[in-house]
Amino acid sequence: MVPPNAFISLAEETGLIIPIGEWVLRTAAAQLQAWAASPETAHLTIAVNVSAPQFRQPDFVEQVRSIIALSGARPQALKLELTESALADDMQTVLGKMRALKTFGISWSLDDFGTGYSSLSLLKSLPFEQVKIDQSFVRGLLDDPRDMAIVETILTLSESLHLAVIAEGVETEAQRAALEIAGCTSFQGYLFGRPMPVRELLPSLAEAA
C-alpha cells in the first residue's frame, strides 16, 4: 500500500495527477447523477480535491463544465477544494477560473487553511464559501494551547468573513467536543467514518442516522 502523502506527490512529479484528477471529477459527477435519481440520496454532495497542476491547466474551467454537463449532475452538488499552493499563480487568472465555475453553480473550499504562506487577503479576494481547519491543528489542540488558539482564530476570522468552517482529521470524541465548544459545527475524520466503497456508504449513513 502507498500512503496518500507519497502517492499524490509522486503523481504530481510524473504529471499523472492531471489524468487522475480528471478521472476523479468524472467519477464524482457520475455518482452525483446516480444519487440524484433517488429521493433518499438526491441531497448528497461531493467535495473533490483539485491539485495545483490540474487547476493550472488552461482548459480547466471548460473541462469541469463539460464533465458536469455530460453527466447531467447538478453543479450545486459539487464542491472543489483548493490548497494554498494552487493559488500561487497570477491572481487575476485564479480569480477568473474560480468565478467562472462559481457562476456555473460550483462552490469552493480552501483546504489545509493556515499551513501555507498565502496572504489573508485571499479570503477577501477569492470566492471561497468554506475553509478547512487543517488536521495538524486538530491533532494538537487538546495538548498545545497554541493549536487551540489558531483554531479559535480561524473560527473567529471565518465568522467575520461569513465563511463556513469544517475541521478535518477529527479522530476522537474529545477533539470533536473541544472544537464544538470553540464554535465549530462541521467535522470530517475517522471519528465519523473511514474511506469505503460507495456501495457501503448508504448503509453506513443509515446506521448513523
Q: Which residues contact 143 (CB under 8 A, 6 or more apart)?
A: none
Task: Please give the Cα distance from 76 to 29 (Å, whole number).
Answer: 11
Compute the residue count for the chain: 209
- What is the reported pLDDT for 116? 67
Q: Mean pLDDT across the chain, nearest whole number?
A: 92
Confirm if 157 and 147 have CB atoms less than 8 A apart.
Answer: no
Q: Is pLDDT of 48 > 80?
A: yes
Distances (CA, A) of 202 to 32, 45, 77, 138: 13, 13, 17, 27
* Partner residues linked to 180 by β-bridges: none
pLDDT for 190-202, tens place per residue? 999 888 898 888 8
* Weakest mean pLDDT among 70-74, 83-87, 149-153, 156-160: 83-87
User: How much is the pTM?
Assistant: 0.92
H or E element at residue 108: strand 107-113
Taking 3-state DSSP, the helix, strand and coil percentages for the chain, each rounded to the nearest 5, stand at 55, 10, 35
What's 29's domain CATH number? 3.20.20.450
pLDDT for 110-126, tens place per residue? 998 877 655 677 788 89
**Confidence band of 209 (pLDDT split at 50, 70, 90):** low
Exposure b/e, 39-66, CB count within 10 A at least 16 = b: eeeeeeebbbbbbbbbbbeeebbebbbe
- What is the reported pLDDT for 121? 75
- Which set of grid coordinates corresponds to residue 15? 504529471
- Which set of grid coordinates corresponds to residue 113? 487553511
* Partner residues linked to 130 by β-bridges: 109, 164
Task: Please give the Cα distance from 116 to 118 (Å, whole number).
Answer: 6
Domain range for 12: 4-208
* Total number of domains in the chain: 1
